[in-house]
Structure 1
Amino acid sequence: MVRAGTGKRRTTNFVWICVGLLGAGLIADLLWASSSSSSSVYHSIASNWLPSKSDTLILPKTILQNNTTKGPSKDKKDGLPERVLTATFADLPAPELKWEKMASAPVPRLDGAAIQINNLLYVFAGYGTIDYVHSHVDIYNFTDNTWGGRFDMPKEMAHSHLGMATDGRYIYIVNGQYGPQCRGPTAHTFVLDTETKQWQKMPPLPVPRYAPATQLWRGRLHVMGGSKENRHTPALDHWSLAVKDGKALEKEWKTEIDIPRGGPHRACVVVDDRLYVIGGQEGDFMAKPGSPIFKCSRRNEVVYDDVYMLDDDMKWKVLPPMPKPDSHIEFAWVVINNSIVIVGGTTDKHPVTKKMTLVGEVLQFQLDTRKWSVVGKLPFRVKTTLVGFWNGWLYFTSGQRDKGPDDPAPRKVIGEMWRTKLSL
């Protein structure tokens, strides 16, 4: 038999114990909040936290670095969803741009290349899928917004991770990866006469490279960095070759000053007789050892925000860094009114899932002030996109887009063409 008095005392004691624990927890929480080490503790917890399907990870301000997350909504102007950034810190605050979808490219492309000459965008090679690569050129006409004029590339020419530059008629192409998956690089170089559609060979590079920074500067074709033959190790090498009117004036490449930091997937731009190298990464996917198809295997990559300029004394100068690390932007840039505009790319890996994180902003580097700004938001995040600018319109096509507004990981390879009016 249970006594009523005993039961009442037990109930009272239980209530007081709960109150005591609650008070102790509140005091501990206040002490934790006032502790100077609270930020690092929270960071440690957050970095080991595994999100559920619908949770949003909130990171401290030291990690956010002025980034914001907003609730889901619809933009009244273009009907595009405002992005909700789940469990990551990649998106930067950016003005909304009104994007218009144009005719898609004849084929989807990843890691392709593009060069604009006047009103024509020449789009080269690239992956169709991880097991299939393109070996032709498509042309987009900005005047009438149509695709046409397809023609084949040389059989020995690389299919992705190309280096490329133009003098306004001739397009110079250096090495890259030959074949699908993570096959090896080639040292072959070519030049295309865009008026006759004829190809010619040029002296091969001293060694093969993946995705080197490439540009014409002061009568010489400069090739810098990229990845070494194993596809992962960053290269610091810098070579140049004198060229004119689509012909090499020398039989061998000249060794130049090494680039300060190696690696592939960077923007390389010449403006007002200055050569700039922007962004990029160290490391990349490699072929799985022993794989008969050279199956791609993920390795550690470090994306960076570095900006370098080569000056009159052939010395590298360090310029203000990008708003955030950005890679896979080698053909995702244009020059507009004394500024360099960069579209999309990839940034630091997702802090929880460690997956690749795509970039969804349009960045501007003002050359006179040497200041960076975020000038717009893309309709979705995308890497290795191909960019052009014509008659006030900013265009981008191809690449690999995100999984959706709340997932910045890469998913579908696209051939879509988009444009927006951009006044800078």
Structure 2
Amino acid sequence: MALTSMPNQPAKGWKTLAPLPDPIGYAGMVAGVLDGRLVVTGGTQWSHPLWLKGTRKFNDEIFVLDSIEGSWCRARAHLTEPCGHFATATTADAIYFAGGTDPKGCRTAVYELRAAGDDYVFRRLPDLPKPTGYAAGAIASGRFFVLGGVADPASTSPSREVWSLDLKKPDAGWTRETDLPGLGLLVSSGGSDGDSLFVFGGMTFVEGKPVPSTTAYRMDQPGGSWERLPDIPEPRVGINSPCPVLADGAIWLVGGYATVWPGAQRDHPGFAAETFRYQPSTRTWSHGPSLPNVGAGDRDAPGDAGPVPPIGAPVVVWKNHVIVIGGEVRISTRTPAVIAWPLTP
């Protein structure tokens, strides 16, 4: 589709914050703001890239950042078990994450994470009805939504199912919502303006082959039907999530990729620097600031200091900045880089 006339913006406005306190970094983390601090946990990294027969490690540590100029510290608390790649969303005082993956496969567990003085506590919520990894998450109308995903990490049959949990009455369990239109999706990205629910991009499969998606959908209220929105200007898989909503109501799609790399894993060119913004009030797309890209580092290392465009990174609005934390920057290569885009006061 045609974009509005807003030109593609350069990457020079990004700030580089202190890197995560792990030299490799993680993808598939969750993040949010608790008691004014930026808090991240979970995720995965590789000991070596896949072509060097590396093994995957799941994270259970919690990392905390007090200020834009500060350095990360490790919290005393840990996840109940190492895991990552959840459906996730946040409120003003809690981080919610559901499903995901661990060394055994996809998970059903659902948690709420809150601050408790100088530390953090987890509350177990009702399990998802079935194991679900690589799903999108969002909170709309007081309900935590989990959209799509797969029951097995190796699956080529992603789900169309949408489930929601009333955060005021979580013991009532999960409610089946209207299925996503079309084919099932994994690694799509969710967003919400508080009331309406949005889902963007992701990967589907046609005759067993992966097909990056341009789709965008909106549900106005729980129990409602899905509305097809104008397509994303190009396919986007693994958009860093949840998609932040800006002061003018625009929803910002940061990162992802448009095509499946057909070449050798070691030669992977990296992911998309171009970003897009969707304005619900006008149903139009525009370009956002491009992500910073200093170029690939050592291609045989499991981590890249960056900054280079990531996928699978959590995005948080904090202290008048949009923060993108870590992520995957090439196949099985992570980054500890943390970047921030200043918002206009």
Task: Classify the TM-score, shorter chain.
Answer: 0.7 to 0.9
Aligned residue pair count: 306
Q: Give the direction of change, closer, same or farther, for the CA distance of 1:137–1:339 in structure 2 (3 Å limit).
A: same
The secondary structure found in structure 2 opposite 1:384 is coil
What does residue 81 of structure 1 align with?
none
Aligned residue number for residue 220 of structure 2: 311
Q: Which has the higher helix share?
A: 1
Alpha-carbon separation, structure 2, partners of 1:388 and 1:136: 19
Residues 347 and 356 in structure 1, CA contact (< 8 A), matched pair in contact too: no
Residues 171 and 194 in structure 1, CA contact (< 8 A), matched pair in contact too:
no
Residue 213 (str. 1) matches residue 136 (str. 2): yes
Letter of the structure 2 residue corresponding to residue 112 of structure 1:
M
**Distance in 2 between residues matched to 1:311 and 1:95, nearest whole Å:** 31
The equivalent residue for 2:303 is none
SS in 2 for 1:346: coil
Matched residue SS, 2:75: strand
Structure 2: distance between partners of 1:219 and 1:422: 26
Distance 2:86 2:108 in 1: 11
Identify which of 134, 137, 143 aligns with 2:59. 134
TM-score, scaled relative to structure 1: 0.65
Checking the alignment, whether the CA contact within 8 Å between 2:135 and 2:150 is kept in structure 1 is yes
- State the alpha-carbon separation in 1 of the partners of residues 230 and 136 from structure 2: 19
- CA displacement at 1:131 relative to structure 2: 2.1
**Which residue of structure 1 lines up, in the alignment, with residue 287 of structure 2?**
374
Q: Is the 8 A contact 2:34 2:94 kept in 1?
A: no
| Structure 1 CA distance for aligned equivalents of residues 75 and 34 of structure 2 | 16
Residue identity matched to 2:29 = G
Match of 1:114 in 2: 31
Residue 399 of structure 1 is matched in structure 2 by 327
- When structure 1 is superposed on structure 2, of 216-225 and 274-283 the one drifting more is 216-225
Q: Does 1:198 align with 2:108?
A: no
In structure 2, the residue matched to 1:413 is 334
* CA positional deviation for 1:391: 4.5
Instruction: Provide Cα deviations, 1:41-86, integer angstroms capped at 9, x if missing partner.
Output: xxxxxxxxxxxxxxxxxxxxxxxx99xxxxxxxxxxxxxxxxxxxx
Q: Which of 233, 239, 245 does residue 323 from structure 1 map onto?
A: 233
Q: Distance in 2 between matches of 1:118 and 1:348?
A: 39
**Is 2:45–2:332's contact at 8 Å kept on the other side of the alignment?**
no
Q: CA 1:171–1:113 in 2, change beyond 3 Å: closer, same or farther?
A: closer
Q: CA RMSD in A?
A: 2.8
Question: In the alignment, what sits opposite 2:88?
Answer: 164
> Deviation at 1:353?
6.7
User: Which whole-Å CA distance do the structure 2 matches of 1:390 and 1:190 have between them?
Assistant: 22
User: Any idea what SS the aligned residue of 1:221 has?
Assistant: strand
**Aligned partners of 2:141 and 2:194 also within 8 Å:** no
- Alpha carbons 1:332, 1:384 under 8 Å: kept: no
Q: Does residue 10 of structure 2 align to residue 96 of structure 1?
A: yes
Q: How far does residue 274 in structure 1 lie from its aligned partner after superposition?
A: 0.8
2:243 aligned residue: 333
Which structure 2 residues correspond to residues 53-64 of structure 1 after superposition, within 5 A?
none
Tell me: CA distance 1:217–1:395, structure 2 relative to 1, closer, same or farther (3 Å): closer
Distance 1:200 1:268, change over 3 A: same
Residue 309 of structure 1: CA displacement? 0.3
> What is residue 256 of structure 2 aligned with on the other side?
345
Structure 1 residues 219, 378: CA separation in 2 closer, same or farther (over 3 Å shift)? closer
Cα distance 1:253–1:318, how it changes in 2: closer, same or farther (>3 A)?
A: same
Output aligned runs, 1:295-306, within 5 Å: 300-306=209-215
Alignment of 1:125 with 2:42, yes or no, is yes
Using CA pairs under 8 Å that are at least 6 residues apart, name the structure with larger relative contact order, 1 or 2: 2
Q: CA deviation at 1:272?
A: 4.4
TM-score, normalised to structure 2's length?
A: 0.79
Cα deviation for residue 420 of structure 1 reads 3.5
1:19-98 correspondence runs (5 A)? 94-98=8-12
Matched to 1:166, the amino acid is: T
The whole-number CA distance in structure 1 between the counterparts of 2:35 and 2:202 is 27
Structure ID, larger Rg: 1
Cα distance in structure 1, aligned partners of 2:264 and 2:258: 14
Measure the CA separation in 2 of the matches of 1:239 and 1:151.
33
Contact 1:175 1:209 in 2 (8 A): yes
